[in-house]
Amino acid sequence: MEPRLQLKVAARRQEADDIISLELVSADGLLLPEFTAGAHIDVHGPGGLVRQYSLCNSPADRAKYLIGVLREPDSRGGSRWLHDQVAIADTVSASHPKNHFELAPHAPAGSLLLAGGIGVTPVLAMAEHLAHAGERFEFHYCARSRSRMAFVPRIAASPYAGVVRFHHDDGPPGQLFDAAATLQAQPAGTHLYVCGPAGFMNHVLDTARRLGWPEAHLHREYFAAAPIDHAQDGAFELELRSSGRIIPVAAGESAAQALAAHGVSIAVSCEQGVCGTCLTRVLEGVPDHKDLYLTDEEHARNDCFTPCCSRALSKRLVLDL
């Protein structure tokens, strides 16, 4: 495992209502590890807290990492800590960059970038990269109100400002986002990248599928999942292949909670099935997938699951633990 990065807060800015940006530099003054557009870092907070934040500066700029942080009204500690306690010159610990939302290596027809709310952060890095590479793309940024749109001055001053369209719910009807019209206007073979609230993303992806877009051209990253209905959840068992131990999972607890209660530690972060931190290999049994991290094809293989939220359709899951 790579050692964590020690990052100093070099700047802090209010970007929009309830959104700040933090500019992070290496505490030792060296260049930071490379990253690709769409990447994120795991930021480690007090009490074992771990949260993922997308890098929204240009991947060509290794002097800093820039993250945008939305103050979540029901924050479990991450956004509240960064908003209320982390100040300029403070040091935070973070992972090396990881990327589960990469740009396709070959997209001759171009790219369609769609951002909803704070989902603009990874999309900004994509726009920077595509503009620098001279590739065709279109960028639509949607939000509930203009006051909640972060990085607008930066986008307006960018060399790609001409391909960006802003859509906010409190604006005139003519500028409201029309997913079907936007998707239909794209050349055949365009790749779609969408990030934002689950409802926004699902609407975009469902519309794209209805219009015949191939699944391989649909790329997404969820920041948060819609609440999962656990009313019908039943109990099941986990078997650890390494020891043969059987761990019961009650109807009212997650597989990750059951493992922890029996002294089996696995890395957990979002607890909503969106980040992939807790992804665990399944050797036998059929998972009941409730995550948004794995693709439909990966769900169908049933060879891994997210114990933070997913359960079992079979009586027992045998895990590679």
Task: Check whether 318 has a pLDDT greater than 60.
Answer: yes
| pLDDT, tens digit, 9 for 90 and up, residues 291-313 | 878 878 889 999 999 999 899 99
Residue whose token pair is 């995550």: 291
Task: For domain 236-319, say whether CATH 3.10.20.30 is its number.
Answer: yes
Task: Check whether 225 has a pLDDT greater than 60.
Answer: no
166 closest CA partner among 185, 193, 143: 143
Q: What are the structural domain ranges in the chain?
A: 5-94, 111-222, 236-319
Cα dihedral 156/42/48/246 (nearest 10)? 130
Query: From the CA atom positions of the chain, what is the Rg in Å?
Result: 21
Split at pLDDT 50, 70, 90, the class of 198 is confident
Instruction: Indicate the pTM of the whole model.
Output: 0.79
Q: Which CATH number fits domain 111-222: 3.40.190.10, 3.40.50.80, 3.40.1280.10, 2.30.180.10?
A: 3.40.50.80
Q: How far is CA 225 from CA 57, 120, 161, in A?
A: 25, 17, 31
- Class in CATH terms, 5-94: mainly beta
Split at pLDDT 50, 70, 90, the class of 229 is low
Q: Which amino acid is at 132?
A: H
| pLDDT, tens digit, 9 for 90 and up, residues 90-146 | 999 999 999 989 999 889 999 999 999 999 999 999 999 999 999 999 999 999 999
66 closest CA partner among 24, 6, 102, 105: 24
Whole-angstrom Cα distance, residue 50 to residue 150? Answer: 23
In sign, the C-alpha dihedral spanning 143, 148, 152, 155 is negative
| pLDDT, tens digit, 9 for 90 and up, residues 22-80 | 999 999 989 999 999 999 999 998 887 888 899 999 999 999 999 999 998 765 667 88
Looking at residues 13-21, what average pLDDT do you find? 96
